[in-house]
Amino acid sequence: MEPGTFLFEAWTARFALMNGLWVTMTSSFFSIVLATLAGLLMGVVLSYAWWPLRLLARAYVDFMRGMPVLVLILFTYYGLAMFRINVPPYWAGVIALAAFATAHVAENLRGAVQSVPAGQMEAAKAIGLNFPKRIWYVIVPQAVRRVLPPWVNTCLEIVKGTTLLSVIGVVELLLASQQVIARNYMVIDFYLMAAMIYIVVNFSIAQLGALLERRFSYIRY
């Protein structure tokens, strides 16, 4: 590899780029996990909880779905600091992305849960299952098959949303690429490389989602 070529510059910056990719992957993973867990709970609240709780959950979902992700990231980092709540940039970004995605997961789950025939809940009640068991063993398994496609789309949006974390100083893949470009001025080369990495990551997630859909399609309840 000759100095000044793309391969040489990419090899020289390999650790910075890999670290940026690692930040992108881990922040996406934590955001997805937190959003999925919180979204499952909130989706059940939207469908079955006491009406004041449903009203609060609905207000949260509608507010977050209408909030631009960038504004939410800036508020989480700078806004919380106004109340003397100091959150590191990385975790501020994870919290913001998770809070945004939670609203989408909750709304998708609500639709999936309410699409399950009402007779399923009545049948589960008739055989003596209490409410938590009716939800966990009867309703959620049937709703999972319906909620998987939009859940995968939310995961893809979270991965792409990590590019916005650079505004609060998180050195994810895109910002790492920009820092490399600032040294060698190979704009097209490194932006194309970053784009290809994002495509590979999102394609892998999409394929995993398709595998899960096929797996759950074989299950009969």
In CATH, what number is assigned to the domain containing residue 81? 1.10.3720.10
221/88: higher pLDDT = 88
Q: How far apart are CA 51 and CA 214, in angstroms?
A: 36
Domain-located, residue 130: yes
Domain-located, residue 98: yes
CA atoms within 13 A on the CB side of 221: 18
Domain that holds residue 121: 6-217
Q: Which two tokens stand for residue 199?
A: 């495509």
Contact 141, 112 (CB under 8 A): no
Domain-located, residue 82: yes
Query: Domain count of the chain?
Result: 1
Assess whether pLDDT exceeds 90 at residue 219: no
For residue 15, the model assigns a pLDDT of 95
Among candidates 171, 55, 157, 169, which has minimal Cα distance to 98? 157
Q: Sorting pLDDT into bands at 50, 70 and 90, what band is 159?
A: very high
Domain-located, residue 1: no
What angle, 0 to 180 degrees and rounded to 10, lies between the N-to-C axes of helices 140-161 and 14-48? 140
Q: Sorting pLDDT into bands at 50, 70 and 90, what band is 176?
A: very high
Among candidates 185, 161, 120, 169, which has minimal Cα distance to 35? 161
DSSP class of residue 100? Answer: H
